[in-house]
Structure 1
């Protein structure tokens, strides 16, 4: 009778739960039984692991194998359990040294010929081990991404490489260094004469406020969204780590700056909020700590628009499927743009609107009151006048740098004053942190009347 115990982790949202894979070899007819894991994972893993072990030159045990995954209540999905299952079998059958299970964790999918294949979602596991002295064995392509988040990492190309772990430790162990970020390279140009857009972009970037721009085509709404991205400060290490984990789960390349997501208005509800069979994060989570830009907002489906209400309020989204439920963060800054009507020229002084009254009613009804209540800033934009375009202009780069420094100063003052951005300030604290002078109160009262 032989028993082996191997550590791995199972992703749950941005976190990763420690899972123990225990293999027990006993007398009886050769068979393999897995407990504590869903039947779909068992069905897929059994034959892959068996073929990988034999193809790697190891011996398949001529015994009854009982493999347990604990805690049984923890969510366990994906193919990353292949490698820990195979290692636990090889340890229990004395084909690998017992020391290999000490202070180590294993992640990775196995091919039938024994290759260790890349899997998604491993950054969540690496981040969980950031403060621990644990050696992680992972697929070779994942090792570089995991390096900043764990004490030591070993990249494996093939299961047979575990025969010589000492050689792996010399060549593939790496001490980790913190992740680095850099700014946005693209420079967005606003049309001349749009001082109101510059000011709106500055206020939105400084306070993290949601912004809705309405105006005729060509007024500069889309470029303003890109400008706001440039005005945002570089993300902190913690913010960048969360962004990298979300993009790793979604199997997408991670941006080096704050994310800027701009989905087409034909996007599905699942694509925006997340879902699919594997409960992957959607665009609202991929925009976490960044900007979600929705151009032509009324052209999105009604269900998609209304789905924004809960994450705008709570800052997270719960994705639930048949056998799993994941809580993903969704603290994004919503920047939305729309035409004033379907033809785009309602209220224009130059072009007459061609829309019928019924078309205008349907268009306006796409944006509900509860959604608009969650948007902090509204601005109506007009096209630049010819005289503004022809007038001498300050260089965009110089102006951008001045406004960006103003945004940084404003953000720092908000943190000193109230410990958070203005957009995150609870209603009960607004008057305490943003009290009005007597003259300003009189002006508001007279304006309201």
Structure 2
């Protein structure tokens, strides 16, 4: 098979790495890819939102399966376009991808079908949103409605902080059109977890639960980021709780999407808060999470190509998804200043030394400068290690991360600390 992966970040590097292990893969391409992916696939310089060029490339190169990494191509209708061309593609169509493309839509869907989530209101007027915040008090959560690269959520501990968030999103238009409306919702107390699932629109098969670390500094301090690290499995999601997630959240939302005329196939990401009364949805994403993918895929023992084809062909029920009994930990190495302004173009040293330690080094924000790999994003690398215990995986990941350096590099030192506490 010839396979095309769309995207160029750490998630796409992990997808390309896993897909490359399939004996069915003859040739792997990635658009646009990155220096890490270039060791596995032929990288082609096509923008992820250029449906026409991607479709032409897939036709010309006899692509048998296309796998979409980021959310933007999905909300831009890449799946619909490929389907029109008769090309096999893994991911939800444009209407189904609205579950991530619009937080207001996702909230209305959950409220309509009784899927557990935080109480919320949607606002198109900043003053109305601020009045509501003053009535409700803090802590409270303010979310830009549209896509904001994982940074459109403010968990405000004071009314003043929440008011400033509304002004930033709606009046200052910090996220552009993504902030034309905001969702203001109650603050949920508990522990977060991410449960990704394969689905063919009817059957749902959950992946190993993971936990992301959103805040930039140790101890969950500082602003939210796209994710500073992750680990799997997350012990907060016990076998009993996983059954509840499937029966109370994943299966109902897939059925709801079917009833709404938006059948959903691909990977569904449920960002959850595990509260005293059970799991509640914080958000849905229409694709693999980042950096959760970097810890979940190394634990998949089955052929990923087989699973994806079964999702597309609506025969997932007959596929057994097998899992390793190991744990995985990913440490994100970030550029100085991230998630604010950061510099690009700094030389990265020590990647091969980290890999010699047995780690997988997934490139998230890198580029080539002549024959050197340099920084080209806020989240630069994801250093992932596996082990037969969470302690061993943590130790291996940090040992490997310690071999890499670039100017003003920073990372969290407490990834997977909650798992250690539970152990």
Task: Give the TM-score, by structure 2 length.
Answer: 0.25
What TM-score do you get using the length of structure 1 for normalisation?
0.24
Which of the two has greater strand per residue?
2
Which structure has the larger Rg over C-alpha atoms? 1
**Highest RCO, 1 vs 2 (Cα 8 Å, sep ≥ 6):** 2
